[in-house]
Chains A and B, each alone.
Chain A
Amino acid sequence: MRFLLPLGIFGVLVVLLALGLTLDPKKVPSPLIGKVAPAFTLPQLHNPSANFSPEHFKGKVWILNVWASWCVSCRAEHKVITRLANMKLVDIVGLDYKDEPADGKRWLRQFGNPYTLSAVDLEGKAGIDWGVYGVPETFIMGKDGLIKHKHIGPVDDKALDEEIVPLLKTLLQEPS
């Protein structure tokens, strides 16, 4: 009987710690979900005289994928993004984050270019506006111009098939 209380406290602690293990402290929930995609105007990687701004995709479902040539996990993610691009569901815009355009271009030549276009965020200002704190990050925008989903870290096959593609399909069916 006298062991019941310590045992109970121990049990509660075990449950709390077990719950804690399932959480990933590296994933900071974005306050931007459900908000309007932050505006920016940045030069395009392959056409520096032309700009890109999120407004260009007004009324469309689109994806912003933050990548960089210096980012190791972007290489792992690249084949998944390419698979998504080959499904031809939506436009995927790359945000080449804090990267020299020459390096970015070489990276895309080497691995292939899954992006409709890439914008160069050399100083990382657009990244700050989008709350980017690690690369890669992936944002999905709906037809209403709001951010619907943010994936932190590399998108793997599981996340693509189970989260991103189903979400894209629902978003595409929504009236514009």
Chain B
Amino acid sequence: MKYLITLLLFFTLSAPVYAAIEVHEFNDAATEADYKNLIEELRCLVCQNQNLAGSDADLAKDLRQQTYEMLQQGKSREEVVDYMVTRYGDFVLYRPPVKPSTMLLWAGPFVLLFIVLIVVMLKVKKTRTVEAPEKKNLDQAKNLLADDLDNSGAEK
């Protein structure tokens, strides 16, 4: 029993440690929506497969705070994104901009799809087409049929 109480106490008292939730007050709902959207779309640079919203890294916390402050000051979404990109490069964006250096990234899948479609179409066409008989063979066949018909007519 004593053991159980200790265990329960351990869990209840340690709760605040992992439940450190950031509380932000927003001017209006639109700002809040922008904030939530931005932290989903900005990458955490320390843990690279997480966005700012999902990361517990110190830097992610700071960048969330920065995003919040900028939005509260009335800065637009684009201004916040520009701010991050001038400091950390396009890498912070989960949705990189379309420009010459990212063309391969954006167009690559479609180019591959296109190539695959063409290959598939060629294959299908090849198996479907029944080769047209050559003129010489066709004539020969017609003659044979005609002969056959004549012969059967003669027999009657």
> Which residues in A have some Cβ–Cβ distance to B below 8 Å?
25-26, 28-32, 98, 123-124, 128-131, 133-134
Assuming the contacts A128-B87, A133-B88, asked whether A28 and B62 have C-beta atoms less than 8 A apart, the reply is no
Q: Are B62 and A133 in contact (CB under 8 A)?
A: no
Q: What residues of A have a CB within 8 angstroms of the CB of B85 in the complex? A: 31
Task: Specify which of A26, A28, A30, A128 is in contact with B63 (CB 8 Å cutoff).
Answer: A128
Q: What residues of B have a CB within 8 angstroms of the CB of A30 in the complex? A: 88-89
State A58–B114 Cα separation when bound (angstroms).
Answer: 55
- Extra A-B contacts (4), CB below 8 Å, given A30-B88, A30-B89: A31-B87, A128-B63, A130-B87, A133-B59
Q: Are B87 and A129 in contact (CB under 8 A)?
A: yes
Q: Are B86 and A128 in contact (CB under 8 A)?
A: no
State A133–B89 Cα separation when bound (angstroms).
Answer: 12
State A30–B92 Cα separation when bound (angstroms).
Answer: 11
Q: Point out which of B48, B62, B87 has the most chain A C-beta atoms below 10 A from its C-beta.
A: B87
Q: Are B46 and A133 in contact (CB under 8 A)?
A: yes
Give the Cβ gap from A97 to chain B, nearest Cβ, in Å: 10
How many contacts A-B (CB < 8 Å)? 38
Main secondary structure, interface of A, reads: loop
Q: What residues of B have a CB within 8 angstroms of the CB of A26 in the complex? A: 48
27 A-B pairs (CB sep. < 8 Å): A26-B48, A28-B45, A28-B89, A28-B91, A29-B91, A30-B88, A31-B86, A31-B87, A31-B88, A31-B89, A32-B86, A98-B58, A123-B62, A124-B59, A124-B62, A128-B62, A128-B63, A128-B66, A128-B87, A129-B87, A130-B87, A131-B87, A131-B89, A133-B46, A133-B59, A133-B88, A134-B46
Q: Point out which of A30, A133, A134 has the most chain B C-beta atoms below 10 A from its C-beta.
A: A133
Give the Cβ gap from B83 to chain A, nearest Cβ, in Å: 9
**Nearest A residue to B48 by beta-carbon distance?**
A25
Q: What residues of A have a CB within 8 angstroms of the CB of B88 in the complex? A: 28, 30-31, 131, 133
State A123–B63 Cα separation when bound (angstroms).
Answer: 11
**Nearest B residue to A133 by beta-carbon distance?**
B45
State A124–B63 Cα separation when bound (angstroms).
Answer: 10
**Nearest A residue to B87 by beta-carbon distance?**
A131
